[in-house]
Structures are given as C-alpha cells and as structure tokens.
Chains A and B, each alone.
Chain A
Amino acid sequence: MSINWFKYSSPQTFYPLAGKMIPWFVWLATIFAIAGLYISFAVAPTDFQQGEAYRIIFVHVPAAWMSMVIYIVMAGWAALGLALNARLSAMMAQALAPTGAIFTLLALVTGSLWGKPMWGAWWVWDARLTSELILLFLYLGFIALQASIDDPRRADRAGALLALVGVVNVPIIYFSVKWWNTLHQGSSINMGAAPKMAATMLMGMLLMALAFWMYTVAVALMRVRCIMLERERSSDWVKELSVTAGGKL
C-alpha cells in the first residue's frame, strides 16, 4: 500500500482537514490551560523568597519557550516551502509568524512585570532579555517583509529566505549577546542559579506550555484557513465553498 504523502499539501484538501482539527486543538488548549492555571494558582506553594509574584513565571517561561519553538518551526516550514516549492508550507510560515511575535512580546512584558518587584528594574540588559528582544525584531522583520511585497509568491519566497537567514543567525546573536553581557557588567543577576524548582511548579509550567502549544496550533490553523481563502479566492473550490456556505463565508 502506498501512502500519498502529499495528499494534504494542497489548500483544497487541507482546508476542510484544518477545519476539523481546529476544535480539537481548541479543546486541548482549554483543558491544559484550566489544569495549568489551577496548579499554578491553587496547588503550587508560595515561594518563600519571591512571594506570590513568582507565579507570573507560569505564563512567562512557556511564552518564552514558545517564542523560540515557533521561530524554528516557522523556518522549517519556510525551508520546506523553498525546497519543494509548496504553497501551503509558505502559508503555514506566514500564519505562524504573528503568534510567534505575540508570544515573544508576552514573554518580554511578563518578564518586566516580574523583574520590577524581583530585581527592582523593569528592564535589565541581561543576555536572555536582550536576545528575546532581538527575536522580536526578527519576527517583525519577517512580517514587515511579507506585508510589503504584493506578489504573494515572491512574498512567500523572500520571507522564507529571511527566516532561514534568521535561523542561522540566532545562535550567533545569542552567543554574542551572552559574551557581551558577561564582559560588560558581570552577572549581577544570575537566573541559572535559582533554587531547584518544586515538582508542582514544573508541572504547572509544563501544562501551561502544552496549553500554549495547542493554542498556537489552533490559531495557526485558523489563520492559514483565512490565508488559503484569500489567496485562492479565484479558484473553483473556494467558489464552490462559498456557494455551499451560502454567503456565511
């Protein structure tokens, strides 16, 4: 039996599949979020040094993880799109970028909200903060480039190339910022030396990360459906869809 690996690589077949998948991921995201928030706020003990304010890490750390994971996944889709010349891959990359940028921003904002009571400063030029900020710039560059090119095919390929250049540069940027930081001010704040985390805290964090992950999939699928409709608006399957949907599309 041979499997047709490319069955769902065309927008026409992927559109209904994505539509069926979205509710599942929405439900998973909701369940994980409820469980994660319950553990974060009700079960996890109060930190004896940081008090209640530490609970923001249950949002902060998963958001920071997701911001990095999404960039890599986005670059992966971009590479696939360039290599196989697949439209859908480029659309997925485009659909992931705003979510990635939002998570990066969320990580930065929650980080500074946490930093004010803990470090006494909204912002420090710590290596992680700085590289997260640069990651936000990379996302914004990708979104801006795609938005300013009118031809969608060119926008896809230019964006994909930029994402790949970015992914090659991310480790270089990270290490340069890290060395810069240690050379300049010495590590006045060392997040790595924090006391070992309690198991419940880790559990809450992992559940929240899973919730964010499922949310990302759901939102990316919703966005990619919109992109598909917009791009393929003159094709037959979209016209048929709009007839069957009866103007609700």
Chain B
Amino acid sequence: MNGAWMTVLKRDLLLAFRRRSDVATTLFFFLIVSSLFPLGIGPEPTVLSSIAPGVLWVAALLAGMLSLTRLFAADFADGSLEQMLLAPQPLTLLVTAKVLAHWLVCGLPVVLLAPLIGLQYALPNDALFVLIISLLLGTPALSLIGAIGAALTLGVRGSGLLVALLVLPLYIPVLIFGAGAVAASQHGMSAQAHLSLLAACSLLALVLAPLATAAALRISVE
C-alpha cells in the first residue's frame, strides 16, 4: 500500500518536473495578480500593507485553483486514472498522493514566493512570518477541497470555469482564517487562534476530502 502511494507521488512529481513550464505558469500568475493591485490602488505603503493579507491570500487561492483542472485531466485522458480506480489499493489513498503532489508542485512554490511579494507590500517582518505559516497551514486545505471540484468536473464542458464556481465558495473559511491571521499579527494581536482554526480546516479536509474526491472520481469515470 505504501509502495503504491509512493509510486503515484513520485510519478506525479516526475511528470510535473518534465513539464516545468506548467509550474512556472502558476507562479507567474500569482506574481502578476499580486503586482496588479498596487498598480490599481496606488503605491501608498500604509494602504498596501493593510490590503496585503487579503490580496496575497486571494492571489494564492486563485493560483491554486487555476492548476486544479490539471490534477486529474491528463490521467483521465490517457486512461491511467481508470487503472487507479481498478487498483487493489484504496482509491482514497492514491488520491491523497496525487493531492500531495499537486500541493508540492503548485502550493509550496507559492508559499515560498509569498514573503517576497509581502515585502513589496511593505509587510513588517513578523507579519511576513505569520503569512508563511498561514499559507503553509492553509494551502493543503485548498488543494484537498479543490480536488473534489476537479474530480466532479472531469471531462465536463467548460470545466475550468465550473471548478471556480464550485470550489471558491468552499474556500471562503480558509481565506478568512488565513488572511485574518496575518491581519491579526499586523494589529499586534496573537494570530494563534486563526492559525489553529486554519490547521483544523486542513485536518478536517484531509479526513473528508479524499473520500469525497474518490467518490467523485468513481462517478465521473464509470
């Protein structure tokens, strides 16, 4: 069982490595979206640092969402997804490996890039630190919840837009707690409550989302 899990993870990471430009697209999207806001709003540092938590979190959320359609689409097209469904290993487990690979490829780079953009938004150091922690705790939930939407819209007309419609409302709690943590630390309050809730969201998603994703995949592929 562990073998199958590791194989799926390695395979997905290798595929992502072979198509490096896909990863770069996600990152550039994050970079461009978050650079647009100062251009639209103005270079005032106080304004920028007050909108930074929300803007960076929304940008991270959109960047993660854009790459969701790729999560199962290629496997669906070449038939390897069917083999995973037929495999003796539980599908739920294989799904977690795929989601982890997606997070390592699309989530983690965004987390690492975020403090850089935070600097452009004149975020103070401790807020930057909280931003990294909140993104680290929250982005796994985004990948996990997003996987449900990706599985439901597999092979459906206009699946890219549909995923947005299905998944974005479900992202709201993560956005609220994530941006709230950074804002709290900016105002000199403890971010611990927000971070705990964020971790709770991720853990809950880790338990429930793979089950829902596996069920959705069975519905979509059958």
Contact = CB atoms under 8 A, between A and B. Distances in A.
Interface of A: 134, 137-138, 140-141, 144-145, 148-149, 154, 157-158, 161-162, 164-166, 168-169, 172-173, 176-177, 179-180, 183
A73 B204 CA distance: 24
Contact of B165 (A144, A172, A176): A144
B169 interface: yes
B133 interface: no
Given A145-B152, A149-B156, A161 B166 contact: no
Contact of A137 (B156, B168, B220): B168
B157 A148 contact: yes
Contacts of B184: 183
Nearest to B201: A172
A223 to B, nearest CB: 22
B58 to A, nearest CB: 14
Given A158-B216, A161-B216, A176 B170 contact: no
A151 B59 CA distance: 35
Contact of B219 (A141, A161, A172, A176): A161
A132 to B, nearest CB: 12
Contacts of A158: 152, 216, 219-220
A166 B162 CA distance: 15
11 contacts: A134-B169, A137-B169, A145-B162, A148-B162, A161-B212, A161-B219, A162-B166, A165-B148, A168-B208, A169-B169, A173-B173
Contacts of B148: 161, 165
Most buried by B among A137, A166, A176: A176
B62 interface: no
A180 B220 contact: no
Given A140-B165, A149-B156, A172-B201, 17 more contacts: A138-B169, A141-B169, A145-B152, A145-B166, A148-B156, A154-B222, A161-B148, A161-B216, A162-B152, A162-B166, A164-B212, A169-B170, A172-B204, A176-B172, A176-B173, A183-B180, A183-B184
A167 to B, nearest CB: 12
Given A172-B173, A177-B172, A161 B162 contact: no
A137 B162 CA distance: 12
Interface string B166-185: 10111011001100100010
A137 to B, nearest CB: 4
Contacts of A138: 169
Nearest to B165: A141
B215 interface: yes
B165 A157 contact: no
Contacts of A162: 152, 166
B158 interface: yes
A176 B177 CA distance: 7
B76 to A, nearest CB: 14
B155 to A, nearest CB: 9
B49 interface: no
B212 to A, nearest CB: 6
